Amino acid sequence: MDTLNATVVHLLAGPYITVGPERRDVPEGSKQLLAFVALRRRRVERRQAAGALWPLGDEERAAGNLRSALWRLRRAGINVLIADKWSLVLDAEVVVDLHAMEQWATRLIEGRPTAHDLAIPPPAADALDLLPGFYDDWALIERERIRQRILHALEALSERLAAAGRFADAIEAAMLAASAEPLRESAHKTLIKAHIAEGNLTEARRVYLAYQALVRRELGVLPSADFAADLGIPLARGSAAARGLVPRARQEAPVG
């Protein structure tokens, strides 16, 4: 494929289309249809698409709305969907930017990243809030699925970067995950581990105390015992050490 002149469906900060350097805006009445089909890697029945996108009213009205959306795309010069009497599918030559982000995330989660994967892709923040303004069930489900995948990838990326001694990048990746989901324990655990790996115990302690205060205020609980154990935090809740972060190697031996 000629990547310089490739047709790309942009769902991140979109939807819109680029053909090489040229951007083509998607008509308002066709955005949901394009996103619905582009999110899938297979042929979609017209009835299924119409029912999901226009659930109110009868099937005939929904089918008419689908035909109108296809017509608007063609009128705008956006010929990326192949439609027959029964189904719709994205042209096999068309690239979807979100699919590339998913592939990046999968390589990190499965522990097989390439050297080029060891950086935060610029669209990661957009992937964490896919298709803002779309509130139908299909969009909400897909948004949450992608969000969870990117969060797991950012945590895996942070751990890889910390192991490679790239502490600033490791902290940035973990902070992006933690800021996207402030109550996510695994993100804060990954951030604390990056600080500990760099030797910044004061920063690690500060992050732990801030997270502890947040979950106590928002959920009425303390961080899990696993959280404390993994980071070397004593489990005795009443002790001064339990309120901070004391690496297991630096804890004083108990007086016998």
Task: Give the CATH number for residue 219.
Answer: 1.25.40
Summarize the confidence of residues 199-212 as an average pLDDT.
92
Average pLDDT over residues 2-28: 88
Q: What's the pLDDT band for 239 if we cut at 50, 70, 90?
A: very low
The count of domains in the chain is 2
- Residue 3 has a pLDDT of 54
Q: Mention every residue, 6+ apart, whose C-beta is less than 8 A from residue 100.
A: none
The answer to whether position 255 is within a domain reads no
pLDDT attached to residue 244: 47
Q: Give the mean pLDDT of 88-103.
A: 94
Q: Which of 112-126, 221-235, 240-254 is predicted with the least confidence, judged by mean pLDDT?
A: 240-254
| Confidence (pLDDT) at 222 | 86
Task: Determine, yes or no, domain membership for 256.
Answer: no
Whether 82 and 103 share a structural domain: no
Instruction: Say yes or no: 103 and 224 in one domain.
Output: yes
Q: Taking the alpha carbons of 103, 104, 105, 110 in that order, is the dihedral positive or negative? A: positive
What pLDDT score was predicted for residue 151?
A: 98
Could you tell me if 121 and 206 lie in one domain? yes
Q: At residue 250, does pLDDT exceed 80? A: no
Residue 49: predicted pLDDT: 94
Domain co-membership, 116 together with 142: yes
Final residue belonging to a domain, choices 93, 122, 138: 93
* Domain end position, chosen among 54, 71, 93: 93
> Does residue 138 share a domain with residue 33?
no
For 88-105, what is the mean pLDDT? 95
Q: How confident is the model at residue 236 (pLDDT cuts 50, 70, 90)?
A: very low
Q: Indicate the pLDDT class of residue 238, thresholds 50, 70 and 90.
A: very low
Does one domain contain both 43 and 76?
Answer: yes
Same domain, 116 and 237: yes
The rounded mean pLDDT for the chain is 88
Is 197 inside a domain boundary? yes
Band the pLDDT of 242: cuts 50, 70, 90.
Answer: very low
Residue 39 lies in a domain: yes
The stretch 99-123 carries a mean pLDDT of 95
- Whether 233 and 116 map to the same domain: the answer is yes
Residue-wise pLDDT for 115-150, tens only, equals 999 999 999 999 999 999 999 999 999 999 999 999
Boundary residue ending a domain (93, 110, 130): 93
Asked, for residue 104, whether it belongs to a domain, the answer is yes
Q: Specify the amino acid at residue 134.
A: F
Give domain status of residue 162, yes or no.
yes
Give yes or no: residues 172 and 109 share one domain.
yes
Strand, helix or coil at 214?
Answer: helix
- Does the structure show a pLDDT above 80 at 211? yes
Same domain, 191 and 130: yes
Kindly report the CATH number assigned to the domain that includes residue 71.
1.10.10.10
Per-residue pLDDT at 4: 67
| Domain-embedded: residue 179 | yes
**Percent of the residues in the chain that have a pLDDT greater than 70, as a whole number:** 88
CB atoms within 10 A of CB 23: 11
Exposed, middle or buried, 154 (CB in 10 Å: 0-12/13-18/19+)?
Answer: buried
Query: Based on the domain organization, do 78 and 125 belong to the same domain?
Result: no
Output the six-digit token pair for 17: 């289309």
**Cα torsion for 125, 119, 7, 32, to the nearest 10°?**
-20
Let me know if residue 163 belongs to a domain: yes
Q: State the pLDDT at residue 56.
A: 85
Which pLDDT belongs to residue 226?
78
Tell me which residue range forms the domain holding 157: 96-249
Q: Is residue 74 pLDDT above 50, yes or no?
A: yes
Are residue 233 and residue 108 in the same domain, yes or no? yes
Q: Percent of the chain, pLDDT > 90?
A: 77
How far, in Å, CA of 139 to CA of 52, rounded?
10
What distance in Å separates the CA atoms of residue 39 and residue 87, rounded to the nearest whole number? 15
**In the prediction, which pLDDT does 240 show?**
41
